[in-house]
Structure 1
Amino acid sequence: MLKNRVKELRAKFNLTQGDLAEKTGVTRQTIVSLEKGSYTPSLLLAMNIAEVFGEPIEQIFYKEEETK
């Protein structure tokens, strides 16, 4: 499963979900779903989010280790 630090970084940068949505060209609902983990972003959206936060994609999005 793909996890992310979007909510954490958004708070650090004092951005609302609406602010981040506007900066990345998506709806606020997309950001809500992304933060809840119910939406996997496209590569373009992940790149746009990384650009907003000035972080490499792999520092924002990461694969959760699966337990067997």
Structure 2
Amino acid sequence: MAIRVAIDVMLAERQMSVGELAERVGITPANISILKNNRARAVRFSTLEALCEALDCEPGDLLRREPSDGSDR
């Protein structure tokens, strides 16, 4: 199984840009992009909490578990 971050869905629903989210969370737009494109290997709880606060959501709204194809091991 793979864990995916659904930031793009939340940004679209809230009509928010990556830059605006990055500013609200206090991390770089490049790091938001890494999360958004599912290239992150880990997320700090403090970052997850800040994302949830900025997007007015719960952690489960951002994180999805999907079947993996086995190539990400």
Q: Same fold (TM over 0.5)?
A: yes
Match of 1:3 in 2: 4
Q: Decide which structure has the larger Cα Rg and report it.
A: 2
Match of 1:51 in 2: 53
**Aligned partners of 1:8 and 1:20: how far apart in 2?**
13
Q: Percent identity?
A: 16
**Aligned partners of 2:62 and 2:20: how far apart in 1?**
18
C-alpha distance after superposition, 1:24-57 (max 9, x if no partner):
0100000111011001321111111111122111
Match of 1:20 in 2: 21
Equivalent pairs counted in the alignment come to: 68
Which structure carries more relative contact order (alpha carbon 8 Å, separation 6+)?
A: 2
RMSD: 1.7
**Aligned partners of 2:18 and 2:69: how far apart in 1?**
32
**Aligned partners of 1:10 and 1:43: how far apart in 2?**
20
Match of 1:35 in 2: 36
Q: Cα 1:33–1:67, aligned 2, differ >3 Å: closer, same or farther? A: closer
